[in-house]
Each structure stands twice: as C-alpha cells, then as structure tokens.
Structure 1
Amino acid sequence: MNRKQKRIDKWLVGILTLAVALNFMNIWEDEYVNPYYTSAVKSMMQNLHNFFFASFDPAGFVTVDKPPVAFWIQTISAKIFGFHGWSVILPQALAGVGSVILLYVMIKKIFGVAAGRIAALTMAITPIVPAVSRTNNIDSLLVFTLLVATWMLFKAVAMKKHRWLFLAFVLIGVGFNMKMMQAYMVLPAFYLFYWLAAKIDWKKKIGLLSGATVLLIVVSLSWATIVDLIPEDKRPYIGSSETNSVLELALGYNGISRLTGEMSSGGSNGQNEQPIPPSGNMQDEPPLANEELQTGENTADSSDNENQQNSNLDSGQDLNFKNAPGGQFPPQMDGDNNGPGGGNTGRFNTGTPGVFRLIQDGLADQISWFLPLAIVSIIGLLSGVRLKETLSTKVLHTIFWLAWLVPVALFFSIAGFFHQYYLIMLAPPIAAVIGAGLPVLWKAYRKNEGWKSWLLPIGIALTAGLQVSIMLPDKETIGLTFILVVGIIGIILALALAVIKQRSAINTYMMTAALSVLVIGPLYWAMTPILYGGNSMLPEAGPTSSKDGQLPQIDDMAFPGDEQDVSMNNDNQVGTNEAPNDEKSPTNREKRNDGPGMNGQVNQSLLTFLEKNRNGTKYLFATLDSTTAAPYIIETGEAVMTMGGFSGADSILTVTKLEELVESGDVHYFLIGNRGMGGNAEIISWIQENGTEVSAEEWRENEDNQQVGPGGGASKLYYVDMEGEE
C-alpha cells in the first residue's frame, strides 16, 4: 500500500485536476461550437460516403477545408455519446489533458520529477491550450498526435528499436491528415534528434530516415491521392480548393499560402483574387474593387458605398466586417500601437511580422507568458556544451525541443496568414524547456556558479516585465492595481534573489514565491474562456468582456475558406458607424455561444415555409456560403447546398450544371444576396433572371429586420423551376 502511494505523484494529480477543469468545465454550454465543423459531423454521421470525404453537407456537395481524420474522431464521439456540442468537443478536451500527461512523462524520464511537474503545469496553463481544447477546432488533437509521435521517437532511440522510428513518422503522416502541412512543422526536430542521438553508423541512419520519410509521404498522401483519383462527379467538391484537388489544397491554401499570405478568396480559379498585402498595412492598399460592402437595404449607390468605406477606414473606425457579403474581406487595417511589442495588432490580430512579433498584442497573451524564462532556460541547459564531445542525453533532448521551438517560432514571426490559436504548436517546446531548465537554473544559482547564477533572477525579472506588458492593454477589465502588484512583486523577488545569494531557506521561499507570482497572469488568462465564454470559431484567451459594447473588430476575422467568425447579426448592417447600445449589447458568452449557426439562430418562418413547399427536393434550399447553411444542417439534418463553399468564393457550379440540378428537381429554392464571390456572380445573376422572388411576408420572421444575405445586400428567397423552358 505504501509503495503504491509513493508511486502516485500528488503534484501531478493536482496539475491534471487543474487541466481537466480548464479543458472541460462548462463545455456543455457551447451547444453548437464551430458550426462549420459541427455541420460536417452532423453530415458525416449519416452515411459512410460523407464520413470518408468529410462532407460539410448531408448530400455530399462540398467538403470542409481540412482532411478528415480529426472529424472522423469527432463523428465517432458523437455516434457514441449522441450529437451534442460537448460530444464533438470531447476529443479535443481529452487531447489537451493528454498532452499535459505526455509532457510530464517525457520530461520526467530525462530531467527528473520536478522538471516533469513544471513542464506539465506550464503546458496546462498556457492560455491558448485550453482555449483551443474547449472547441471542435482540431489543433489540440494535432498537438497530442505529434507528442505521441515524439514519445515514439524517444523510445526508438532509447530502445534501439527501428519500428518505433517508423511509427513516429507514420503518426506525423496521420497528423498531416488532420491539418496538412502544419503537422510537418516538427520534422526538423525529428530528423536532427535521430541523427544526433541514434547509436548507429551514419549510413544506417540515412537508410532508416529515408525509409521513415517514405512511410511519412505514403501515409500523408494516402487519403488525398484516393480522393483525387475518384471522378469528380462521384465525390464532393474539395472545399476551399481552386482546382477541386486535395493535393492542391494541401500545398496551396493549407500550405505555402500560410507563409506568403497571398491567396485567392477560396476556390475562385484565379477570378477576383484579393491577395493579402504582405505589409499588413492598409494605408497603401486600394479599397475593395467590384465587391463593395453594402448596407442591408442595398439601396446606396456603389460609389457612395466606396466613399463611405474609405471614410470609415481613414478615421480608424471599426466596420462590421463580420457581416461582409459572402465572407469577403477588405485589405488589412492598421492596429493600435498598444501591444507588448509596441507593434500593430495586424491581420486577424496576429501582429506585424518581425523579430518581436510573438510579444506583440494579440499573440503574446496567448502563448508568450513564459517566453523570457524559456530562453534563459535554454541558455542554462546548453551552457558548457562542447560540440567535439559526445552529447549527453539531456543535451540531445534539449536540442530536440529547441529544434521544434525555433522553426515554429520563426514561421509565426514571418507568416502572412494564420490565426491566434495556431500558436498552440509552440506550447509543448516552451513548456518542455522551462520544465527542464528551471531545476538547472536553480542549481546554478544555489551553487553560485559565476555568470550562470544570474540566469534565474534575470529570467524571473524579464518574465515578470513581459507579463505586465501583456496585461496592461486589459487594465480596465482586470484592474491596474492587480497588474502592478503582480509585476512589482515579481521584479522585487527577482532582485532579492540576485542580491541574497546564499544557501538558506529564504532563497527557496523567494524562488517559490516568484514562480507562483508568474503563474497568476497566465492562469487567469487560461480561465477566461470559462469566466467570459469562449470563441469557438476563432479560439483565443483573454478578459474580453470589456469589449461587449463594441462592433466586431477586423482582427477577429478569418480569411475566406478558413475557420472564420462570420456573424450574420440581424441588428448590425454592413458599414454602420455606430456601435450598438451598451445596454442592449450581449455578453461575450451570448455573442459567441449563441446557438445553431454563425448568426446563432434558424429562421423558423423560412424553415416552415421550405418544409411545406419543397416538394421532395434533394436540397432544402441552396445558398452561397456555409455561414447561412450551417444552422439548418445542424438543426434539421437536411441537405443545404452551399454553391460557393465555405466563404461563397469556391467555383463549384457552372450555370449549365445549376440548370441541370433545377431541371432534375434537386433544388428549387435559393436564399441569396446581391453579388457572387469569386466566379459565382454569373450564378447569382442567373438565379435572379430565371427565378421568382418569394414574398418576404411568406418566410421572413420580421419584415423590418432585414438580414444581410449571402452575396451582399438584404437576403432574398427565389424559386426557380425550369419546367416549360426550352
């Protein structure tokens, strides 16, 4: 009994309890999570065809913009526990806790129990980790998969069993089938570690790594190759691709375009492309051409709209771009110079590319709370290493985590297109080097090892300073006094450690107190999705409740075709200059977790009308983008055609093909706005010319409350029937 008790790490139990709370608490309140992916799960539950292709809609018309493995897991979870918001979140929440456990196991084995505990705690409270894990976005599952692959790699070297190496690379291939090229970010660390650590001759290393690479490629491209070989009329259109190809999607939109930031608006086949300006500065960029933002009434002259748009942008006033027609987006607006790095908030709130990007507002509060301490830890871990000597196991493992950290940090420092929650890729290496490094820094400090003894107080002081700068932009929410007290105590304790260098209990107490202070800020941030409600479309952490009375910020948007937070809020029309009345504005939880779909509700009058009049058509109705379709798929399980894919920009249909669908009786009703994204303007024109507009009194719940429709302008319902046409 006593031996069993000794094997139980009570500190780990406490850390895991915290991780479970951060990842699981209140997830049952987020009923529909990210509707784009939740709709796919609903569709995939209906048949194996949809399941295999990760179809967005029950009819298998178009896929989501990612590979299927993560959604297979979510669908299986929903099959077992029933279709609920929490059942599609469950795999990611479990993965978040699993990642904490894996880090503990791997770091403890090499660097000791204390190191494992510190790494696990750091991973658990890194704000973006629970923020992502509480949603059905797939990054948490991807990170867990890559950490399992890491465990296998370490096992391959320690046991000298080559099969573990092959399994590790196979698992990275599985990660590719979760989120494509993002899984390959860890490959430099895998190749470098095995080359340095494996106790075999270099020729055999080349052979084994070559074989592992072949397996990686085969597994990575297996699903993509199968899908691309299937005739296009036998499978869904590949969402957000330009050529209806999974391989093109992987290498383009989900590949190199993430780095360059230059891409067309979904699958426009080169038409009406709006590449992201690399500068992230909109002052030198022209306004949107030919796709002007329109008011809900759609009565203003286009030139007036353009002038109004430019006036708003020049004044720095926020436009309600989340209501933009068809999910289109204007060039980037400059952010405020109020971030920790003194930089702009940048596109999608990801800062200005450069060396200090990760400590700018929008990114620092998601991932960088312990970054100075991580850098100092790396210095301590690698100090005294001589390349001519045989590297120790601890040094080799440090090099692995460093080879994971540096390339990924470099990517996020220069990339043109990503979202804040992608930063979860940095959480494992940062947590690992801090866990491994802090005991080393403490030992150097206690033994007064020259310049190394200064690393601990320096790391604590720099980290405290950065944390103050991270919290300052939210001083009105959390209180300036709280921020200053945390910062001042942290810096004072760091200075005390620097001055009082002696072996006594007081040093231990001071270091424990200092590290405890450094935990307060990130722990609070990690709790904010529970306290204020999370954003399931674009997960982020932070006390954002003070922004409830503001219009949506441009930095909250996503690029067309990705997991964007497109809100069709009936109360706010595109281009309005006035913020909603603070007394009437919803809370964060109400805005972000407000029901089925991007706008939080199904138009029950429309649904009743369509169910009564559809006359057995395959599709309940057709619309331009998934924003409109998602709530109806989730609520009814019926097929809704998204003619332009996720954002309305995919060129899926031709006029001829649409005519065939109407003639065959597959679809008759079309809910659209005024314009088409990408190459779909001709489709919209054809519907308007050949269809009969259904009176708003028959389907709109409130005639005075005109919702912005897919394609821009007030939404209109058309009935198209080709009977009698030649």
Structure 2
Amino acid sequence: MEGNEMKAFMKRVDYLLVGILLFSLGLNFYHLNNAGTNTYYTAAVKSMMQNSHAFFYASFDPEGFITVDKPPVALWIQTLSAKIFGLSDFSVLLPEALAGVISVFLMYILVKPNFSRTAGLLSSLVLACSPIFVAVVRTNNVDSILILTLLIAAWAVMKAVDQKKLGWLILSVTLIGVGFNIKMLQAYMVVPAIFLFYWMAVKLTWKKRLLHLIAATVVMAGISLSWAVAVDSVPASERPYIGSSQTNSVLELAFGYNGIQRLLGQNKGTKSMGSASTAVQNKDNSSTTNTSNGQTPSNQSAAASGQAQGTTSSSNNQGAAVTDSSSSSNTQAPMGNGAPPNFQGGMGGKMGGGTGGMFGTGTAGPLRLFSSELSGQISWLLPFILFAVIGLFAEFRKTKKFDMRIKFAAFWLTWLIPMMIFFSMAQFFHQYYLSMMGPAIAALVGIGWTMLWNYFTTNDGWKSGLLPCGILTTFLFEALILNQNSQSKFLVVGTVLVGVILFILMVQRMKKETYSPALPMAALLALLILPLYWTGITINKTNNASTPIAGPGSGMGGMGGMGGMGGGARMAANMGFPGGAGNIAPEGAQDTSGNSASGSQTQDGSMTPPTNQDSASIPASAPANAGKTMDNRNQLNTALLSYLEKNYDGEKYFLATDSTQTAAPYILNTDYSVMAMGGFSGSDPALTPTKLEKMAKAGYVKFFLISGRGGMGGNQSESVTQWIKDNCEEVPSSEWQSATSSQIQTSFGRFGGETLYVYKD
C-alpha cells in the first residue's frame, strides 16, 4: 500500500469504533477458556466431529441414537472450530464470542448511514455493554450466532431498499431461514421488522412490493424447512431420534416444543404443576421406530425414569420433555418444566406460579420486563428509549413526513416491540433469550440521543426537556434495579443523586444560547456505568454456562423463588442435587463451572476428566473426601468407568443411561458411544421395550445405568425401566462403586440413587 493510499485508509478508520470493538473483544474473551460450556452441546460437538452422519443430524452421541433439541447450523460452526483448534472449551466458545464482536461492529454499520457517526458509535457501545448479551456470547448456547445472522439480514434488507433490488431482499430472508436452522422460530421474531421496513421504505409500486414480499416469503419458508423436511423424510430406522420431540419429527420440535410451547408453556394440554401424579397423558408410541446409523434394530427407547448420577437439570428448553395435548407432562421430568413431584406445591407454592416463574422469569404481565427477575438483564435503558419514541412522534407530527430516518427508527421499534410483548406474555423462556432485544435497544439509544440532542440544542419548547428528563428517569430506573437486586443502599442513593445533579446541570444549560454536547454525552455514558458493572459481575462468575444470567443472580437459571437468591445452590446441595444450583440447567446440560467441561484433550483425542471440584455439589451428609471419587461438575463416576472398561466386550454402546445428563461426561471423557435412552430429560419416547430387547439381544448394548428417582420420565420410560429390571441382572454396587461414592449415592436418596444393570442373554 502506497503512502497516499495509507493516509486515505487511516482517515477512514474510526478510532473510537476500533476502541469499542477492542473493548467488546475484551469483555467477550475475558477468561473465556474458564467460562465453562453447556456440556449437552459440547458432547454433541465431539460426537459430530467423529462422523458425517452425526454431523448432519446434530447427534448427541457418535453412533447417532438421538439428536440435541436444536437444528445444526450453529453446532456445525462450533464443530468446525473444534476441528481446526482441537476440542476444548475455548474452541467451542470461540465462534460465539467472535459473533458478539462482529454484531457490535454491525450496529455501527447499520446506524451510522441513516443518522450519524455518533449514533452509530453509541449503538455499538450500548450493545457491547449489554449484560445479558455479553453473558450469552460467552456460552455455547447458539443465540450469539443467531443474533449475528439476523443483523446481517437487517443489513441486506437495507441494501435492498437502497438499491431497489430483489436480490438483496432474497439474501435477507435467506439469512432468516438460516437463522431458523440455528434456533427455529426464534429467528422469526425479526420478520415483522424486515417485511414492514421493506414495504414502507423501498421506492417501488405497491404491486412490485407485494410480489417481492411474496417471493421472499416462499424463499424464507423453503430455506427454513429444508433441513427439517430432509430429516423427516429419512426413515426413522436410518437416522437418530429427534431429541425433545414426542413424535420423532423436526417439524413437531420446531412448531411445538420450540414454538407454541414457548408462549403457552410446556404444560399446555397437561395437568398443572401441582398435580404431577396425574399429569401423564396416555399416548401411543407403538409407531415410533428408529435405528442409529441404520445399523441397530432400533434407536427407539423410552427414557428410563429420572436421570442418573443425581443430575437434576432437565427443566429446560433443551431437554425437558415436550408436551402437547397427547404427550406426557414435563412435570414428570426431574427438575423439568415442573419440578420433581415433591417440589410441587412445596416451598409455599412459590415455584413461580407456572412455567414462566419456574425459570425465574417473573410473572407474565405488562411490567414483567421491569420486574426484579428480568430488569437487570437488558432493560436498563428502556426508559430512555421511551423518551426517544416521544421525540420521534413529535418530529413526525411537526414535519408530517415519514422520511427515511423515521422509517429506520420504525424498523428498530418493530424489532423491539413484538419481542417485548412476547417476553411479557411467554410462559417458557430463559433470561438469556432477552439478548435478542439487545440490537434494537442499542440502535434506539443511539438514534434517540441524536434526536433528543437536536431538540435540546434548538430549545424547541417542551421537546427540549426530553433529553434531561429521559436521562433522569433512566437513572432512577437503574437505581430501582439495584434496589430490586439488593445492592448497596449507598450505590442506590448515589445513582439517584448523580441523576438529579446531571438533570439540574442540563436544565441550567438550556438557559444559555450556546450548547456543548459534552455534558449530555457524559450523562448518557454515565447511564452505561451500571450495565457495565452488571456485565463485570457476569463475566467473573461461574456456574453460568448452561442458562446464563447477567449480574449477581444464580447461574441455575432461576427456580422460582430460589432463582438468584444465593440460597438456591445450598438448597439444591442439601436436597442431594449434585452440582448444586449450577447443574439445574433449564436450557441444556450441566454447567462446567468455569473449568473445562471436557477436561484436557489427549493426543488420541480422548478427554481426560477435569479435576477441579465444586464443594457445593456434595450433600452435607456425604463423606468429606467425596469429591475425590466422583467428578461432581461432570457427574463422572470414575469407579463406574473403570468397571465398565474392564467388562466392555466391544458393544456398539458402551453404556445406556436414562438421559443425556448422565451420558455427556462419558462421551466427553472417553472415546466410547453412550446411549441416552430418554434424551435430555429422560422422558423422550425414543425407544420401546420391544426395540430395546432387540438391541440387547443383537449385542448393541449390555450395561444400563438407571437412576432411583422412580417414575419421573413418563409411562414409556417406566415401561423401559421395568423391562431392564425384569430382564437384566443388577450389578452389586460394591463392584462399580467405591465406598465413598456408595455413601454419596445413599445420601442422595430418592433423587440420586443409581443402579447398574447388565444384560445376559
């Protein structure tokens, strides 16, 4: 590059943007290798690395018995990263963290052309500081890649409007279709914004606009359903069972469990949480068949009741049983959408009042996003946006022109408002889903500051007071968030005082003829201090990888009254839940709590067990040295592993377990394939007793590890469990448990006891 070209390039570089991107990079990558992963997905990544069959279907296990509960695109990206850099926490998290930084950059690219450089910079900075956005990009949950995909779709539709070319619109909806294959219907939350903006902004006749949008809809539907239709078209005997579905169908998973149940709750069509004993509906599973890799007689197996090894996290949108009017209720799954039976109606009935509260997301209603459960996640700057919207309406009424600036702002409002409505009403979601609101909030803050600053400097009547009033109101709301979360009273009072002082100073400046943006800009930047403080807490805490929560809340994802109260971990531990609160994971498998979920990778590709222990995961009644026998974070029973290796005769499946929760550590720490008979929660009807018998007689599986929770997996899993008990021999615990681990099992009682069975034909 020659001298003049270099100078021109340097002039084009926005150094403030570079600083914001480096800041975002630091937040996203800070101790990333210790952030932990959702082992449900990490195990799938390792399995997908081993063969193309598992890769295509996003199979949880290498042999392709059952899939995870999400489409494969984001997991494909994680798998490619692991292929390049080797399987580790860092390689799995790398794509997500990078996607977060790129999203921050795209905010600048999107906002600057229609408003100003200042608006673009502010939008990027706000997104970079958003607590729940930073929390989710530091996990291998797929939301970060989804958000990036949708932001690129937004950029493409704006190119379509600018150039009046159908091709850009097709690119935009194609990316939404790709987003559907990342996290299904969650990608469609931006469709109203994309379509409405194109209709309002592109300068074409209404007939052409209509034809373009019809064509775009067809393309979007085709891309969205391509993988689902391809998978559902394959005979069940030649592919894995679709995890978290009740009919072995991707389409049912997309529109049921990952669709309507998000709004109406997992218990739709079933009894209430307080009626766990009667919540199981009769269903016909006789037609459900499956064979892994087309080799086994069937991959269909009902989940053995409960989960093994005391693993309690099944309550989630990951693996809790999918329910509809004909399926078994999730209340039967341990720590599922409903808690275990003895939780129902317990604790004063304060499990959250339904599915929504169960995950610590507060009570559905118009003020839900301002509740103590959700306000600290993404809502910090919503009051400022309210004043920005008032300013937008005021400008429209004054000019009577619906110009591109107004249309661009309307695009982000159409992104934000439907999401606010959904999260105010929905019964089945987790705090980190709110990260989807991050881009719209960031854009509207940047846009709002620009517009309100113009009103402030022109001294345009009552509108000139919108900026100082918006800043004061937002400071007061931030103080409320601090108070809701039991922060220092000094910090609460200090926040109020800072807001009042800045308000007074800004009002005094309004009386002068000349204005400097320094004070208003400093006031707005001061509003970012507390969200950044919340983000700092988030990146420094552990047990936050499975269901990330921003701020000081518990990483357990919220369990009604226990969520975010600090006592949840101790309560879980005292009740005998290994892994404590960190392992109650409503979106996936156990959190790896800040250490490698997969341990370290050896030269032959196997994963050595992690060594760091979490003392909170051992019940009070357990022996003092219990952590030396079992890896409590990954629930790996090393004594069992040793026994199985000595008695393994080359079966297709090294071990069969109730659920993915028990299977994941053995997949991650060995090169064996483990069959999770009931999927994530243990209640997927993936197998019948008849099919399991055929598999056992064919020599595909010999050992079965069954939990002692009894009857939590539904009728189908109970019948499979009963077949195992009737047709297999119990292995004396003295042969596969050390004295210490045996005492742990005893201390876990009903919720943790395990039994190992061996099939002998």
User: Same fold, TM exceeding 0.5?
Assistant: yes
Identity %: 43
Question: Following TM superposition, by how much is the alpha carbon of 1:548 offset from its aligned partner in structure 2, in angstroms?
Answer: 5.5
SS at match of 2:359: helix
Residue among 390, 400, 406 paired with 1:379 = 390
| Shift of residue 387, structure 1, vs aligned partner | 11
Structure 1 spans left out of the alignment, 5+ residues: 265-269, 277-284, 299-320
Q: Specify the SS of the correspondent of 1:455.
A: helix
What is the alpha-carbon root mean square deviation over aligned residues? 3.7
Residue of structure 2 in register with 1:691 after alignment: 728
Instruction: Answer whether contact 2:48 2:79 (CA < 8 A) is retained.
Output: yes
In 2, Cα distance between equivalents of 1:296 and 1:214: 45
Kindly state the Cα deviation for residue 551 of structure 1 after the two structures are TM-superposed. 3.0
Determine the structure 2 residue equivalent to 1:539: 548
Aligned residue for 1:430?
Answer: 441
Secondary structure at the counterpart of residue 428 of structure 2? coil
- The aligned counterpart of 2:329 is none
Q: Partner of 1:133 in structure 2?
A: 137
Q: 1:565 to 1:80 in 2, by over 3 A?
A: closer
**Deviation at residue 297 of structure 1 after TM alignment:** 13
Match of 2:256 in 1: 252
Q: Which residue of 1 aligns with 2:648?
A: 614
1:176-575 maps to which residues of 2 (within 5 A)?
Answer: 176-263=180-267, 273=270, 285-286=274-275, 328=340, 330-331=343-344, 346-386=357-397, 390-475=401-486, 479-503=488-512, 508-533=517-542, 535-544=544-553, 550-551=568-569, 562-563=587-588
TM-superposed deviation, 1:475: 3.8
Equivalent residues of 1:345, 1:361 under 8 A apart = no
- Which residue of structure 1 lines up, in the alignment, with residue 318 of structure 2? none
How far is the alpha carbon of 1:573 from its aligned partner?
Answer: 9.5
Distance 2:749 2:237 in 1: 26
Distance (whole Å) between structure 2 residues aligned to residue 296 and residue 167 of structure 1:
46
Q: Quickly say closer, same or farther: Cα 1:687–1:580, change in 2 above 3 A.
A: closer
Given that residues 497 and 510 in structure 1 are in contact (C-alpha distance below 8 angstroms), is that contact kept between their aligned partners in structure 2? yes
Matched AA of 2:14? D
Matches of 2:749 and 2:192, distance apart in 1: 43
Taking a change above 3 Å as real, the CA distance of residues 445 and 560 of structure 1, as seen in their structure-2 partners, is closer
When residues 332 and 418 of structure 1 are mapped into structure 2, their CA distance, relative to the original with a 3 A threshold, is farther
Structure 2 residue 28 is the aligned partner of structure 1 residue 23: yes
1:118 alignment partner, one of 105, 118, 122: 122
Deviation of the 1:550 alpha carbon: 4.6
Matches within 5 A, 1:648-659: 648-659=682-693
SS of the aligned residue for 2:112 comes to helix
From the superposition, tell whether residues 647 and 15 of structure 1 become closer, same or farther in structure 2 (CA, over 3 Å).
Answer: same
Separation in structure 2 between the aligned mates of residue 233 and residue 696 of structure 1, nearest angstrom: 35
Map of 2:47 onto structure 1: 43
Q: Does 1:626 align with 2:660?
A: yes
Change (3 A) 1:541 1:297: closer
Partner of 2:758: 719
TM-score (norm 1): 0.84
Aligned residue for 2:757, secondary structure, equals: strand
Residues 12-45 of structure 1: CA deviation (Å, up to 9, x unaligned): 11111110011111111245x1000001000000
The 2-side partners of 1:335 and 1:580 are apart by 28
Deviation for aligned residue 1:595: 14
* Alpha-carbon separation, structure 1, partners of 2:588 and 2:48: 18
**Which structure's relative contact order is higher, taking Cα pairs within 8 Å and 6+ residues apart?**
2
Change (3 A) 1:159 1:275: farther
1:14 correspondence with 2:39? no
Write the deviation string for residues 263-284 of structure 1: whole angstroms up to 9, x where unpaired: 47xxxxx9xx5556xxxxxxxx
Instruction: Say which SS state the counterpart of residue 111 (structure 1) adopts.
Output: coil
Alignment partners' CA distance in 2, 1:407 and 1:644: 35
Query: Which residue identity is paired with 2:194?
Result: F
**Which secondary structure does the structure 2 equivalent of 1:119 belong to?**
helix
CA distance in 2, matches of 1:487, 1:331: 41
Give distance in 1, aligned partners of 2:208 and 2:345: 50
- For structure 2, list consecutive stretches of 5 or more residues without a partner in the other structure: 1-5, 281-304, 311-332, 555-563, 573-579, 594-612
Alpha-carbon distance in structure 2 between the residues aligned to 1:297 and 1:649: 16
| Deviation (angstroms), 1:52 | 0.3
- What is the one-letter code of the residue matched to 2:358? R
Alignment deviations for residues 599-643 of structure 1 (CA, whole Å, 9 cap, x no partner): 434211111111110211111111111110011111113111111
SS of residue matched to 1:491: helix
State whether residues 325 and 712 of structure 1, in contact with CA within 8 Å, keep that contact through their aligned partners in structure 2.
Answer: no
Q: Deviations over 1:162-198 (max 9, x none)?
A: 1000010011000000000000011111111111111
Shift of 1:322: 7.7
Q: Which amino acid aligns with 2:727?
A: N
CA apart distance, 1:6: 2.5
1:448 to partner: Cα distance: 1.0
CA distance in 1, matches of 2:196, 2:242: 35
CA contact (8 A) 2:630 2:638 kept: no
From 657, 667, 680, give the equivalent of 2:717: 680
Deviations 1:649-700 (A, max 9, x none): 1011111111111101111111112324022011111111222111212211
Q: CA–CA distance in 2 between the matches of 1:622 and 1:404? A: 45
Write the letter of the residue equivalent to 2:532. L
2:85 is aligned, of 81, 87, 101, to 81
Deviates more, 1:678-687 or 1:175-184: 678-687
Q: For the structure 1 residues 648 and 44, does the alpha-carbon distance in structure 2 shift closer, same or farther, using more than 3 Å as the test?
A: same
Match of 1:172 in 2: 176
CA distance in 1, matches of 2:584, 2:636: 24
Query: Structure 1 residue 328: deviation in Å?
Result: 4.9
Q: Is this contact kept in 2: 1:355–1:413, CA < 8 A?
A: yes
The 1:671–1:571 alpha-carbon spacing in structure 2 relative to 1, beyond 3 Å, is farther
Q: Alignment partner for residue 704 of structure 1, among 743, 748, 757?
A: 743
Aligned residue pairs total: 667
After superposition, the Cα gap between the structure-2 partners of 1:294 and 1:433, relative to the gap in structure 1 and judged at 3 Å, is closer
Q: Aligned AA for 2:539? A: I
Opposite residue 759 of structure 2, the aligned amino acid is: V
Compute the displacement of 1:5 (Å).
2.8
Displacement, 1:712? 4.3
Q: Which residue of 2 aligns with 1:281?
A: none
**Alpha-carbon distance change, 153 to 294 in structure 1, aligned in 2, over 3 angstroms:** closer
Distance 2:195 2:666 in 1: 47
Aligned partner of 1:151 among 147, 152, 155: 155
Q: What displacement does 1:495 show?
A: 3.3
Task: Please give the alpha-carbon distance, in whole angstroms, between the structure 2 residues aligned to 1:110 and 1:540.
Answer: 33
Residues 133 and 571 of structure 1, relative CA distance in 2, 3 Å threshold: closer
Of 50, 55, 62, the residue aligned with 1:58 is 62
Aligned residue identity for 1:8? V
* Native 8 Å contact 1:561 1:646 kept in 2: no
Residues 190 and 296 of structure 1, relative CA distance in 2, 3 Å threshold: closer
- Listed one character per residue, the Cα deviations across residues 421-466 of structure 1 (whole Å, up to 9, x for unaligned) are 0001111111111111101111111211111111111111111111
